[in-house]
Structure 1
């Protein structure tokens, strides 16, 4: 049974039992900053388990792509560790419970997969008698094949929130797969007993004191690893030997000129490369990009680790983008989006790989400096902390550090390296935020929504209206009233206030009663259909259950709407000008500006930026009608509506249409026609990471303010250069030419002075063993000038060596230049300059005929020149 067949049979099995099949969510969790990655099948459904959102179907089944990195060092060493994997799951949100989940699981593994019952084992939480009775009495699993296990393995909980016991299905793969111990049993770390399915029974709520109370609506959350099941069905020893990974691995082997199965070390490299490339391919496809923090750092680390294993197999060039193409070919039937994004994915990987190869070159320079410093200090060992920094910051393999150190007669403190690595792992483990169902404040809001009901939003068509105050909160606690000066949160039954979401800031305004006024400065939506107004009482006393007038600040709302509608135009125009690969990677819509992040690999040219601005303004001047309507997600997609990376939409969505030009899913507020935007002015364009660019712009009144500021700048420049605004450019060009002429004249004078100085110091040359040697402190504005003077003096000597030093604002520059005949007699300029630089607290080196260095202590320049004569004399001996 192929991986694709297992996936299809699983989803079909649960669809026939009333489950809605949903597509895999993005690896980037939607609207959930508590976690970096979708690491389990339940992550996209956290809002349903917590009650934050209401599911359309109480029964759901998915094949969810997942990414986890805590066990990255184990990938390739074991039969089943991965960073990227697929998790099959079925979920119940308050519908069925153990009485259905357990029999269905048994039916699937024994009837659909036809796994032999006599090889299957079951684990339950130690005191879960309910699960035991279902497994034994209803399903028929023998008592001696049901193993009770402790809380560390068979109870799911993460701090405060819903939790519950687990039950797992294991398969016995045979004694030959075991560790040989007579104590080997279910739960052993060896490969004999393989866990293939975990059923989590969400039936309790844990509070801050650690007390457990039964949940009214119990839930089911199950997970079956597709790669693991495929290894069992295909009777292979590791997940890497399944059809899901083997073809990719064989292709990687053909690129790297190695054959899988012939050498354990090479097999490990192929497994790591295959696994990590799958992970970065899917992650980049879902909108992640390499960077130095967060999930971007994870992508960068995985890619660099794969490249390092490629170098173990002697691959010096870029190759991962080719392996990624093989991943896409293998997985596109199940994940067609990969094929649509292939160009983007491969370009990101190739660009990052090229940058890493440059970084490796930097690492080589750094280790050369470390070895030089160790030798100068009389040490024979490179510190473990330094070796780890090379590994962690520059991706420099420990093996390569050791190799270079050994070439220089040094060793590496491997114990120190291991300690530094373990410290980093501990930091990563402690910093890793686990999946949380609901925070303490979230629990409070959920209880309030259940008590008060949902908030009806009227803000798409209205900016004011009547409402009732349903609750007043101060510091998270409900109050009956609040007085002037107090910061509060208000819950209304109906509101025109837009809550911050989708990159659009919230509305501002006022809530007014007969004898009070509240200034609203922020609005949030912690739960679906539940809006919280954050404000300050500026007059009177607010009381619960009062009827109030709600007023949104209209001019601010209109400025925000102009900018939000402009982002839709920008998105479409960028695709037209730069290519279809451009996708939105984030946005910020405020009253005074807009920011739009997008995927692209190079800075747009000035001509392209001009074209982008021109096309957006053309669409504004075209006075396109802007309409918003609700429809089904499938119908919106069939219409060609653009959706964002990482967003998870319900079956009903809101679509914003601008003429026949733009069509996007969006819940924000917009103008009625593009003409209301006024004008669009692109203010800046920049890079914010590998493959990601940012545009900042203004519209409407923001453009007027921008132009006024520019006019004021021109006026000040005109005043400074003593010209009218219309003559500023001509006047500045004239001044530039004058500066250029003066600089040329200055350079000519410097050249004359330099030649005069050369003539004056030639007389300082000494003869050592028949060779002319000149070492002198001179004046030079920079290293280029110093090198030019050294070349000139060397030519004047005809045969000999020149060593020069210069003080540039306290920073020492050193150069040594030797004629070719002197080099043949044993003089090495690079070695000379290296020893001379040590006198002034610096370092450097170079070729036998030309070398340069730097230093910190200019007071010892003459001492360094004196040292040069001694060093050269030593070389000639």
Structure 2
């Protein structure tokens, strides 16, 4: 087999020359695009991270390929299975041409017909699933277009109020416009005016209630944009029945909306502090803003270490405690960009935009809801940071009351821990560290004593070995041992029997199972004998199977009552083998 570098070159990547090539590109094009020179260090770090990531994937795939080739050779097959080729293609991105080339180097062929079949089946499944989803989505979109063309955009009143008088313009069930619905039904509803914020900009849709003039009560489970500017409410009818054209009162769940607004304002501040700490490249690449929590994806080429993460959290909370004013204003897109407003990844903006300023450190284009002052958004508690893709990181955090509740939970856990340790909360880490050190020392001493005990028991077992035609055997039922210790005792006993042909078979009961271990001396193993042969019949007796390689084997089963019978069978097989 050629090495991974050969595989990389087959893929068209002459690893590892990407970083020098990047330097050359920056040098040649830096005058035309100054950003290349300005961000040269970041670009080189990102490219290096990509190289390392690709090399890891390539190495993992190559291991699988090498193992498959070895298996084919051991089984005397001249063909690499289509399943292996497909897994390399599907999981590791190996083109089938690369697998064919590597197999040819090893003197093998690839079952290309099977690979083609598996690939076609995968594509068929994906296509079928996509068609079903597409058909349903098209029905819904047709219903949205029908209502939108008839009634126009939804008048969103939710920036200024949480309750609005409205008219029911349409009801949609299973993608079809219907005239009405009864109690217990779940469907979609369209109003002419709505205080419910529709999910967008990473912010979740509002929930709440709608009560009609006829007395029906509906729970609003979610609010989404069916079309641009057209709000669709997912509702469940709790009481009564509803008909198109009815008057209704729409009421947003105020406490939940406030919690969501806190999270969104906190997200803006987090974005600003990430860029300040990590660099301007750490821009938002997606988010989830929910009641009491947020998830924030941003561009970065390496993990943010705990010290940096703690510093970012402190910066966010410090700026929120300064209570900056949250100011909202409108301008043209060009005016907003000239004023330094940040446009977020993946968002669509019109010619006139809404800008949210938080103090003098955050200015973003945003159509979502916010708190009036920074102190209303805190505190913020960062839970952790992780990778969610190549050069893409994710921070998850809690805000407001949820952050305080989390803090209280941690405090109670610390108090409980300090009580168990018999110390003050402040001293708990040192006290726990000392207990763990003492436990480690005790475990090491216990292991040493246990090892000494096993050596002593091995000497006793070796001394009790019976002589049979062709060698010596030890067949014994022991107690108080786990699987690993049983194998160790069998191996140690065999070692003590020296260079003569000898077999050791031990059995025990552990956790409701019958366990057996067999060990043979080196001289017997050199004749081609495998220890697993000695446990085949014994394993069947206890209701299990035998396994192992070379001079040591083990078996186990649930039939503990048959352990004595299993040892008898193993003794017979051992005596027969030595007598041959």
TM bracket (short chain): 0.7 to 0.9
1:400 to 102, 107, 116: 102
2:297 alignment counterpart: 597
Matches within 5 A, 1:645-656: 645-656=345-356
Which deviates more from structure 2 when the two are superposed, residues 785-794 or residues 509-518?
785-794
2:67 alignment counterpart: 366
TM-score by length of 2: 0.73
2:43 to 331, 342, 350: 342
2:206 alignment counterpart: 507
Is 1:566 the counterpart of 2:275? The answer is: no
Provide the C-alpha distance between the structure 2 equivalents of 1:608 and 1:713, rounded to a whole number of angstroms.
25
1:607 alignment counterpart: 307
Q: CA deviation at 1:522?
A: 1.6
Q: CA deviation at 1:561?
A: 0.5
Q: CA deviation at 1:529?
A: 1.3
Q: What whole-Å deviation, never above 9, does each CA across 1:16-69 have from its counterpart, x for those lacking one?
A: xxxxxxxxxxxxxxxxxxxxxxxxxxxxxxxxxxxxxxxxxxxxxxxxxxxxxx
Matches within 5 A, 1:607-686: 607-686=307-386
Q: CA deviation at 1:793?
A: 8.7
Provide the C-alpha distance between the structure 2 equivalents of 1:708 and 1:606, rounded to a whole number of angstroms.
21
1:357 alignment counterpart: 58
Match of 2:75, SS state, is helix
Match of 1:565, SS state, is helix
1:497 to 191, 196, 199: 196
1:702 to 387, 399, 402: 402
Give ranges in structure 2 of 5+ residues lacking alignment. Answer: 537-544, 558-562
Q: What whole-Å deviation, never above 9, does each CA across 1:733-778 have from its counterpart, x for those lacking one?
A: 4543443343122112112123324545666999xxxxx9999999
Cα pair distance change 1:678/1:786, threshold 3 Å = same
Contact 2:532 2:547 survives alignment (8 Å) = no
Provide the C-alpha distance between the structure 2 equivalents of 1:425 and 1:678, rounded to a whole number of angstroms.
48
Give ranges in structure 1 of 5+ residues lacking alignment. Answer: 1-303, 767-771, 846-851
Cα pair distance change 1:528/1:801, threshold 3 Å = farther
Provide the C-alpha distance between the structure 1 equivalents of 2:250 and 2:59, rounded to a whole number of angstroms.
59
Contact 1:626 1:672 survives alignment (8 Å) = yes
Match of 2:260, SS state, is helix
Matches within 5 A, 1:379-528: 382-394=80-92, 395=94, 397-404=99-106, 413-424=111-122, 426-427=124-125, 439-478=138-177, 484-516=183-215, 517-528=217-228
Cα pair distance change 1:431/1:603, threshold 3 Å = same
Match of 1:526, SS state, is strand
Provide the C-alpha distance between the structure 1 equivalents of 2:395 and 2:240, rounded to a whole number of angstroms.
45
Q: CA deviation at 1:451?
A: 1.1
1:578 alignment counterpart: 278
Match of 2:395, SS state, is strand
Cα pair distance change 1:515/1:604, threshold 3 Å = same
Cα pair distance change 1:387/1:531, threshold 3 Å = closer
Cα pair distance change 1:574/1:596, threshold 3 Å = same
Matches within 5 A, 1:158-197: none
Which deviates more from structure 2 when the two are superposed, residues 702-711 or residues 619-628?
702-711
Match of 1:342, SS state, is helix
Cα pair distance change 1:431/1:515, threshold 3 Å = closer
Cα pair distance change 1:466/1:837, threshold 3 Å = farther
Q: CA deviation at 1:444?
A: 1.8
Match of 1:449, SS state, is helix
Q: CA deviation at 1:726?
A: 6.5
Cα pair distance change 1:400/1:492, threshold 3 Å = same
Matches within 5 A, 1:722-871: 729=429, 732-733=432-433, 735-757=435-457, 759-760=459-460, 842=547
Aligned length: 543
RMSD, aligned α-carbons: 5.2
Q: CA deviation at 1:614?
A: 0.9
Match of 1:577, SS state, is helix
Cα pair distance change 1:448/1:380, threshold 3 Å = closer
Provide the C-alpha distance between the structure 1 equivalents of 2:100 and 2:340, rounded to a whole number of angstroms.
50
Q: CA deviation at 1:617?
A: 0.7
Match of 1:460, SS state, is coil
Provide the C-alpha distance between the structure 2 equivalents of 1:426 and 1:323, rounded to a whole number of angstroms.
40
Provide the C-alpha distance between the structure 2 equivalents of 1:633 and 1:837, rounded to a whole number of angstroms.
81
Contact 2:384 2:396 survives alignment (8 Å) = yes
Q: CA deviation at 1:563?
A: 0.8
Provide the C-alpha distance between the structure 1 equivalents of 2:178 and 2:170, rounded to a whole number of angstroms.
8
1:693 alignment counterpart: 393
Contact 1:374 1:382 survives alignment (8 Å) = no
Matches within 5 A, 1:546-561: 546-561=246-261
Cα pair distance change 1:607/1:780, threshold 3 Å = farther
Which deviates more from structure 2 when the two are superposed, residues 548-557 or residues 662-671?
548-557
Contact 1:786 1:804 survives alignment (8 Å) = no
Q: What whole-Å deviation, never above 9, does each CA across 1:561-617 have from its counterpart, x for those lacking one?
A: 011111122222223333443233332111132222334444432212221211111
2:229 alignment counterpart: 529
TM-score by length of 1: 0.51
Contact 1:597 1:695 survives alignment (8 Å) = yes
Provide the C-alpha distance between the structure 1 equivalents of 2:453 and 2:288, rounded to a whole number of angstroms.
58
Provide the C-alpha distance between the structure 2 equivalents of 1:609 and 1:447, rounded to a whole number of angstroms.
49
Match of 1:504, SS state, is coil
